[in-house]
Structure 1
Amino acid sequence: MKKFLGITLGILTAIGGFVDIGDIVSSSEAGSRFGLAHTWVLVVGVIGICVYAEMAGRVTAVSNRPVFDLIRERLGPRVAVANLIGSYLVTLLTLAAEIGGVALALQLLSDVPYLVWVPLVALVLWLALWRVRFETLERIFGLAGLTLVVLVIAILWLNPPFGELAGQALTPAPPEGENWPTYWFFAIALFASAMTPYEVFFFSSGGVEERWTAKDLVVSRINVFVGFPLGGLLAFGFLATSAIVFHPLDVGVDTLGQAVLPAGLAFGKVGLALIILGVFAATFGAAMETSLSSGYAVAQYFGWSWGKLLRPRQAIRFHTVVLVSILLAVAALLTTIDPVQLTEYMLIFSAVVLPLTYLPILVVANDRGYLGDKVNGPFANTLGVVYLVIVMAAAVAAIPLMVMTGMGG
């Protein structure tokens, strides 16, 4: 039972990482414009995050320390500060987008403008992080996010032409009317959403919060190899239902209301209610992850006390960083910037900083001083190097493609 409950860390991380507000809309938009031609990107992204999350979880379980803490010690403060600045700024943008996503979900339920909800969401978020136990948060929102499975079921319920969809999935190329630069722009955005830097920092720090030891390597790997593929499956639900409903009509998707519509078409008001609940849980879970990740990264770099295992008064600087990050995110949203557009920019800038995150993890995972005989084997290193090449290619191409395509327009 303990191992079963422990999987919820992976579920929360996967749902918050794969199925946040930006990925919901970008997956839906990719499906509406390209059909299932980006399916391979989701597969590549799932494998990539599994490769590096397994390393991060193993490092934490064996050393009893989070990855970011070891990066500073192993590679020095200069490398770590570059990692810190890049990951913190991307995490802050993500936090703003997730709070906006929660507010958009509440707008769908209430017809009250999302900007009215933003301060209330931020207040509830801060109170939850201040007062509620880590295990309670991950289990409530991780498991509630599973209602997104209604969209996966809707793929079958909508009775699509499966032969045509299979042809799209097996043809990784833009359909007639689209071009290669735009196709690759969406590919990079989807890939970055799968491997956003805060995911591995949250997963690693969460392992410390859950008191993982070397005996918990099995739990860590179950989290990785169940949680992240599940997140990828839920993201595929948005991609596929959008391809089924919107692509044949040549209708683009660029709002949350459009993204959840296929669940309503399949199951009526019940389906719509379930998918909105799932979106709320996923975006609120992602907001918790990014809030905590901002505090984790800063506190671990400076050597402060951190984490929800400690009482707030024992980790006051950690909680102050979390609070300040939430306030900065709210300030960004109150400029009236569109949360969806904000997240699309975040995904591109996330792609740019991916090498700063994943190269140090690969180095630490090969250090016998920390892991002993649990260092990477040849297979893990081969996959790690392959994905390092991929993330570097994505980092180099992201900004030029953003400019060339006008953000995929």
Structure 2
Amino acid sequence: MKKAFAVTLGILTAIGGFVDIGDLVANALVGARFGMSLAWVVVVGVVGICLFAEMSGRIAAVSGRPVFDLVRERLGPRAGVVNLGASFFVSLLTLAAEIGGASLALELATGVNYLLWVPGVAFVAWLVMWRVKFENMERVFGLLGLVLVVFAVALWALGPDWGELAGQLTSPPQAEGAPTYWYYAVALLGAAMTPYEVFFFSSGGVEEKWTREDLSVARANVFVGFPLGGLLSLAIAACAATVFLPVQAEVETLGQMMLPVGLGLGKIGLALVILGVFAATFGATLETALSCGYSISQYFGWQWGKLVRPVEAARFHTVLLVTVVLAAALILTTVDPIMVTEYSLVFSAAALPLTYLPVLMIANDPDYMGDHVNGRFTNALGTFYMVLLSVVAVAAIPLMLATKAGQ
């Protein structure tokens, strides 16, 4: 019964934690401009994150060590520091976007300018990471994020032309050029396969003391939770395609992204979606900040995690504090949080091979994995994704420059 409860709660947590500010913004932008013609990218991204999250969870359960703890040991300090630098930069930029997203949700709820909320969001996030137990932290904010299912309910209430939505799957709008189309495809893939998710997932497995007996728990989190989270992403895109695409209106603010829910479900729906967006972005704030602390501490061999008292992991908690302060400071410069989110997605896409190659290598190393190394199918799929992610990484920055970030 205890294991069944852990599986069920883990699935719910994965669903709530999948949709962060990147998925919210990217899917709403794409739905408004391209309809459902980029839905295939979400499917590719969900399969990819499931593939590598399963590997990272298996690594944590079998070896008792998280992925980044093995990166320096397996790749060496020089290659490891390149991986560390790229992943930390992307995670820090993502953290700033998440803090901005949570603050924007509070602005919509209260009418108080989001910049005034930024210090409070950052402080509360640090306080939660300092004081709240890992399992309680994940469950509370993950489950609250489930409120975002309101997008799926709103889509049904809007009564779209389902045939029209289905037709958009294979027919992108003619007004948009190919470079812009592929720029947003890259951004969507970056949103679905954000690097911090894998580092957080494997470190979280160690925090929760997974063993080989818990492989079923890890896989249930991955293969049920992430796909259902992907369905929420598709619902966000479909809502935007239903409301904005017919009138050729673009989504430029978080409030506009929530508008379809208000139109479909009224004030109650709008209140629920604001709650869901805040919970999802604040939960992602915690996950991203912890990922920064995990990666740096594991690379340098410091004591880390919430299983030990903060005084025994002082450097880990110092990294958490510094990264939260830096991310909040970036948003306080008045840079547009939505723009930060868009750039974080592109840089995330560019860094994907550095993030996932070590996972694939370690999952194939019998010294760490014993008889739990990848099978042939997993390796074939992993190799395909590494080729795909390498192409995406090469194309990401040139596409951003050529399209002026999708304009």
What residue number does 1:233 align with? 231
Equivalent-residue separation in structure 2 for 1:279 and 1:5 (angstroms):
25
Residues 49-88 of structure 1 aligned to structure 2 (within 5 Å): 49-88=49-88
Q: Which deviations, in whole Å up to 9, do the C-alpha atoms of 1:182-219 show, x marking residues without a partner?
A: 00000000001111111100000000000000000000
User: What's the CA shift for 1:2?
Assistant: 3.2
Is residue 9–residue 142 contact of structure 1 (8 Å, CA) maintained in 2? no
User: What's the CA shift for 1:178?
Assistant: 0.8
Is residue 94–residue 346 contact of structure 1 (8 Å, CA) maintained in 2? yes
User: What's the CA shift for 1:237?
Assistant: 1.6
What residue number does 2:404 align with? 406
- SS across alignment from 2:139: helix
Is residue 25–residue 341 contact of structure 2 (8 Å, CA) maintained in 1? no
Residues 2-401 of structure 1 aligned to structure 2 (within 5 Å): 2-3=2-3, 4-6=5-7, 8-9=9-10, 11-12=12-13, 15-16=16-17, 18-169=18-169, 171=170, 173-401=171-399
Equivalent-residue separation in structure 1 for 2:388 and 2:15 (angstroms):
21
Equivalent-residue separation in structure 2 for 1:279 and 1:2 (angstroms):
30
Task: Report the identity percentage.
Answer: 62
Coordinate RMSD, CA, aligned? 1.1
Is residue 20–residue 281 contact of structure 2 (8 Å, CA) maintained in 1? yes
Equivalent-residue separation in structure 1 for 2:305 and 2:14 (angstroms):
16
Equivalent-residue separation in structure 1 for 2:15 and 2:182 (angstroms):
24
Equivalent-residue separation in structure 1 for 2:367 and 2:22 (angstroms):
39
Equivalent-residue separation in structure 1 for 2:158 and 2:106 (angstroms):
26
TM-score of the superposition, structure 1-length normalised? 0.97
- SS across alignment from 1:362: helix
Q: Which deviations, in whole Å up to 9, do the C-alpha atoms of 1:40-63 show, x marking residues without a partner?
A: 000000000000000000111000
Q: Which deviations, in whole Å up to 9, do the C-alpha atoms of 1:249-292 show, x marking residues without a partner?
A: 11110110011111111110110011111100100010000110
Is residue 11–residue 230 contact of structure 1 (8 Å, CA) maintained in 2? no
Q: Which deviations, in whole Å up to 9, do the C-alpha atoms of 1:59-111 show, x marking residues without a partner?
A: 11000000111111111111111110000010000111100100000000000
- SS across alignment from 1:47: helix
User: What's the CA shift for 1:294?
Assistant: 0.5
Q: Which deviations, in whole Å up to 9, do the C-alpha atoms of 1:211-243 show, x marking residues without a partner?
A: 000000000000101111122111112101000
Change (3 A) 1:397 1:10: farther
Is residue 51–residue 384 contact of structure 1 (8 Å, CA) maintained in 2? yes
Equivalent-residue separation in structure 1 for 2:213 and 2:82 (angstroms):
33
User: What's the CA shift for 1:174?
Assistant: 2.9
Is residue 20–residue 98 contact of structure 1 (8 Å, CA) maintained in 2? yes
Equivalent-residue separation in structure 2 for 1:164 and 1:174 (angstroms):
12
Equivalent-residue separation in structure 1 for 2:221 and 2:265 (angstroms):
31
Change (3 A) 1:377 1:85: same
Unaligned runs of 5+ in 1: none
Equivalent-residue separation in structure 1 for 2:275 and 2:231 (angstroms):
18
- Residue 159 of structure 2 aligns with an amino acid whose one-letter code is N
- Residue 110 of structure 1 aligns with an amino acid whose one-letter code is T
Equivalent-residue separation in structure 2 for 1:6 and 1:243 (angstroms):
34
- Residue 302 of structure 2 aligns with an amino acid whose one-letter code is W
- Residue 138 of structure 2 aligns with an amino acid whose one-letter code is E
Equivalent-residue separation in structure 1 for 2:8 and 2:85 (angstroms):
30
Is residue 289–residue 320 contact of structure 2 (8 Å, CA) maintained in 1? yes
Is residue 6–residue 217 contact of structure 2 (8 Å, CA) maintained in 1? no
Number of aligned positions between the proteins: 406
Change (3 A) 1:103 1:408: same
Is residue 9–residue 138 contact of structure 1 (8 Å, CA) maintained in 2? no
Is residue 152–residue 237 contact of structure 1 (8 Å, CA) maintained in 2? yes
User: What's the CA shift for 1:23?
Assistant: 2.1
- Residue 129 of structure 1 aligns with an amino acid whose one-letter code is M
